[in-house]
Amino acid sequence: MAQRIHYTNDVAAAIRRLVTQYQPSGVVWVADDNTCRLMPDACPVVTIPAGEQHKTLDAVCRIWDGLHHNGATRHTLVVNLGGGMVTDVGGMAAATFKRGVRFVNVPTTVLGAVDAAVGGKTGFNRHGLKNEIGVFAPASDVIVSTRFFDTLPRHEFKAGWGEVLKHALLSGPDHLRQVLDWNLEATAIDHDALLPLLQQSVQVKVDIVARDPHEAGEREALNLGHTVGHAIESLAMNRGNAVAHGYAVAWGLVAELVLSHLQQGLDSAVVHRVARFVRDHYGTFPFTCDDYDVLLDAMHHDKKSVNGEVRCTLLAAVGDYRVHQSVTDDDMRAALDIYRDLMD
């Protein structure tokens, strides 16, 4: 069954409709230490520790045990309420409990709404590697609401917007204009304006995943910005000063748009506009040419590399993407030089 996405700011009503439709033997919620406070009263809930460091097999086991102790059957409905960590491990647990029970994702972060909760990837970290263990198992339904974002710290909202920006670049000029025009510094959220914009963003991923559900080809487009972004994340961790994934993606997008200009002829005006937006709202990640070898080493070990060759998704134009593009070390160094000039 295809994954259904519901866009609403009345989450309780949406859940009631799904329960009426599916008629489960019971409903068990999965939340973390933060999102459990959003839970309806008197609902069975399995709570796991919050934070990426707890995205482990122990968390999955805790959910399995919680489902067991709450009398879950193959006809139980699991509802994952939280950010990407909760939907990833909650989905993994639901997909494997009694060989699979139906589950619904209710993302509470921008990043979760436009990325982790949609597309069917579940899993947990192992041996220091992100999402080392997992399965493709889409939630039957995803409920996207902006109401949870009112309490998000500003930096977490911006981190999610890094993925929104990526989707807009994959989509088209009008979509990109709307995303770049959004006031990321506003203290209050315009829910009526944000919900349809998120819907556009999610639909970009939904359409690509529908054409390539198991990442055999086109789905690689969703890694735009991530080859350089993941390398930046690794460098930051090596320095003992981790950065948010969405921030790293935003910086990675700028570098990979430079590469797109050099290799695919992307209009330089797009590169400059996006670089200005990222610099103004995300600042810049400081590195010098002395860091290039470390960054390149991380890129060569990226899961998208083939025989150690760096591969990126690049754009010929906004909305016109090219997957599996080979990038030489010299070209990457040139792109990083230009990135530093743009972001200075």
pLDDT in tens, the chain (344 residues): 578 999 999 999 999 999 999 999 999 999 999 999 998 788 899 999 998 889 999 999 999 999 999 999 999 999 999 999 999 999 999 999 999 999 999 999 999 999 999 989 999 988 876 788 999 999 999 999 999 999 899 999 999 999 999 999 999 999 999 999 999 998 899 999 999 999 999 999 999 999 998 888 999 999 999 999 999 998 998 898 889 989 999 999 999 999 999 999 999 999 999 999 999 999 999 999 999 999 999 999 887 777 789 999 999 999 999 999 999 999 999 999 999 999 98
DSSP H helical segments within the chain, as ranges? 11-22, 57-69, 84-96, 110-111, 154-171, 173-181, 191-211, 226-238, 245-264, 268-282, 292-300, 329-343
CATH of the domain at 204: 1.20.1090.10
User: Which residue matches tokens 């996006």?
Assistant: 274
pLDDT of residue 40: 79
Together in a domain, 203 and 294 = yes
146 and 262, same domain (yes or no): no
For the beta carbon of residue 19, count every other beta carbon within 10 angstroms: 15
Is the torsion defined by CA of 306, 309, 209, 54 positive or negative?
A: positive
Q: Are 279 and 146 found together in one domain?
A: no
Identify the residue whose tokens are 């993407």.
321
Domain end marker among 119, 134, 152: 152
Rounded Cα gap, residues 233 and 161, in angstroms: 17
pLDDT at 50: 94
Q: Are residues 193 and 288 in the same domain?
A: yes
Q: What is the pLDDT of residue 1?
A: 57
Which of 120, 136, 152 corresponds to the end of one domain?
152
Please tell me what DSSP assigns to residue 41. T
Same domain, 270 and 140: no
Question: Which of these three, 104, 128, 152, is where a domain ends?
Answer: 152
Lay out the sheet containing 141-144: strands in order across: 4-7, 141-144, 103-107, 76-82, 26-32, 45-48
CATH number of residue 132's parent domain: 3.40.50.1970
The answer to whether residues 204 and 167 touch, using CB atoms and an 8 Å cutoff, is yes
Sign for the CA dihedral angle at 310, 312, 317, 321 comes to positive
d(CA 173, CA 168): 8
187 and 307 fall within a common domain: yes
- What does the block give as tokens for 276? 């200005």
The answer to whether residues 203 and 144 belong to one domain is no
Tally of CA atoms within 13 A in the half-sphere of 143 that contains its CB: 22
Give pLDDT, residue 110: 96
Same domain, 192 and 288: yes
Task: Give the residue numbers spanning the domain of 278.
Answer: 158-343
Q: How far apart are the first and last CA of the chain?
A: 48
- Say if CB 198 and CB 144 are below 8 A apart: yes
Beta bridge partners of 330: none
Q: Is residue 142 domain-shared with residue 166, that is, in the same domain? A: no
> 318 and 336 in one domain?
yes
Question: In total, how many domains does the chain have?
Answer: 2
Q: What is the pLDDT of residue 301?
A: 84
Helices (H), 172-241: 173-181, 191-211, 226-238
Q: Based on the fold, state whether residues 264 and 121 are members of the same structural domain.
A: no
CA distance linking residue 332 with residue 252, whole number of Å: 12
Is the Cβ–Cβ distance between 151 and 14 less than 8 Å? no
Q: Assess whether 69 and 184 both reside in one domain.
A: no
